[in-house]
Homo-oligomer: A and B are copies of this chain.
Amino acid sequence: MSADRYLIKNKECIDAAILELLPEARSYPEVIHKAMHYSLMAGGKRLRPSLVIAAAEAVGGDRQSVMPFAVATELIHTYTLIHDDLPALDNDDLRRGKPTNHKVFGEAIAILAGDALLTQAFLLMTHSALMPSIPAECLLMASHEMAVAMGSGGVIGGQVVDLESEGKPVGPETLEYIHIYKTGFLFRACVRSGALLSQASKSHLAALTQFGAHIGLAFQIIDDILDIVGDEKVLGKDIGSDLSKDKATYPGLYGLGASREKAEDLVEKGIGCLESFDDRADPLREIARFFVQRTH
């Protein structure tokens, strides 16, 4: 199955599960739940939950068993988007072609909606009754994994260095730090979590860790490229917004051609890490290829 078809099939199940696992939009107090739904249901390819599922399947697990955990990773991703877009941070008005959360609900509710999504994610990840086939130790390990990835030594650390680097000359080391921590860490954690939840062997877990790290960095490099060459309508955000903010990017440092080569190389290396896996890892391989083929 091609990555596109796999992702579309997953997206339907994941979207249904999100609606099932989130408090209803009309539950009290309404405004916070509406704000959470607004950003969650504003589109998105559900790449992170799909990676949790594909990694679980690659080591013999199954989609339904890990679904609440997979949904949690989309909640986490959405929380980072809402907070990143705030006026005090990136000050973005558009996200996926729609007004950003704070533009619709105001800053206070946007801050709290991000907080609530992060909290709801941990609520789901630790909800053993929702994932009865997964041992408590595995849920605990995977939840811990996610907290480590999202903390000040992970995604938040990357976001801080990104903010501090705006308008300054940035060397290759800092740029790689930003990309690996701000974007790559969550992808890596999604792959590792899927494996941990499905009791992967140590060698499989190590291989998947490498795979996740490689494709996570590739994803951000392509993101940088699309920010320059992408189609504004398809991308749903202001093209060149990184440039206008004087943000550090791969094409800015290495040029477009070398950046694309680097991303393609990373994806090939990532797929190479999966040599010892059988065809149950094909969805992972397809998602990896999709990471560099995507146009939005």
A residues near B (Cβ < 8 Å) are 23, 27-29, 31-33, 36, 79, 83, 86, 88-89, 106-109, 111-112, 114-116, 118-120, 122-123, 126-128, 135-137, 139-141, 143-144, 147-148, 150-153, 156-157, 159-161, 163-164
A144, closest chain B residue (CB)? B126
The residues of B that contact A161 with a CB separation of less than 8 Å are 29
Pick the residue among B79, B126, B163 that contacts A140 (CB under 8 A): B126
A and B contact pairs by CB, cutoff 8 A, 28 listed: A29-B157, A29-B160, A29-B161, A29-B164, A31-B164, A32-B152, A32-B156, A32-B157, A33-B152, A36-B152, A86-B108, A88-B107, A89-B111, A89-B112, A109-B163, A114-B115, A116-B156, A119-B147, A120-B147, A122-B122, A122-B143, A123-B151, A126-B126, A126-B140, A126-B143, A128-B137, A128-B140, A136-B137
Q: Name the B residues within 8 Å of A148 (CB-CB).
A: 123
Which of B29, B31, B147, B156 is close to A122, meaning CB atoms less than 8 Å apart? B147
Distance, CA A157 to CA B140, complexed state (A): 26
A161 to B28, CA, bound (A): 9
Residue of B nearest to A124 (CB): B147
Could you tell me if B89 and A108 are in contact, using CB atoms closer than 8 angstroms? yes
Name the B residues within 8 Å of A106 (CB-CB).
Answer: 88
Q: Which 3 A-B pairs have the closest CB atoms?
A: A88-B107, A123-B147, A126-B144
Q: In the complex, which residues of chain B have a beta carbon less than 8 angstroms from the beta carbon of A122?
A: 122, 143, 147
Q: Across the two chains, which residue of chain B brings its CB closest to A147?
A: B123
Complex Cα gap A112–B84 (Å) = 9
Check if A108 sits within 8 Å of B88, measured CB to CB. yes
Across-interface contacts of A141 in B (CB, < 8 A): 126, 128
A127 B144 Cβ-Cβ under 8 A? yes
CB pair A28 B83 closer than 8 Å: no
Task: Compute how far the CA of A152 lies from the CA of B115 in the bound complex, rounded to whole angstroms.
Answer: 9
> Knowing A86-B111, A119-B156, A157-B29 touch, does A140 contact B136 (C-beta < 8 A)?
yes
Complex Cα spacing A238 to B159, Å:
33
**Alpha-carbon separation in the docked complex, A111 to B147 (Å):** 17
Contact A83 B140 (CB under 8 A): no
Q: Which residues of B contact A147 (CB under 8 A)?
A: 119-120, 122-123, 126
A140 to B142, CA, bound (A): 11
A111 to chain B, nearest CB (A): 6
Which residues does chain B contribute within 8 Å of A123, judged by CB atoms? 144, 147-148, 151
The answer for the CA separation of A156 and B111 in the assembled complex, in Å, is 10
What is the CA–CA distance of A109 and B89 in the complex, to the nearest angstrom? 9
Q: Which residues of B contact A36 (CB under 8 A)?
A: 152
Query: Within the assembled complex, what's the spacing in Å between the Cα atoms of A107 and B108?
Result: 12
Q: What residues on B are CB-neighbors of A118 within 8 Å? A: 115, 118-119
Min CB gap A244→B, angstroms = 18
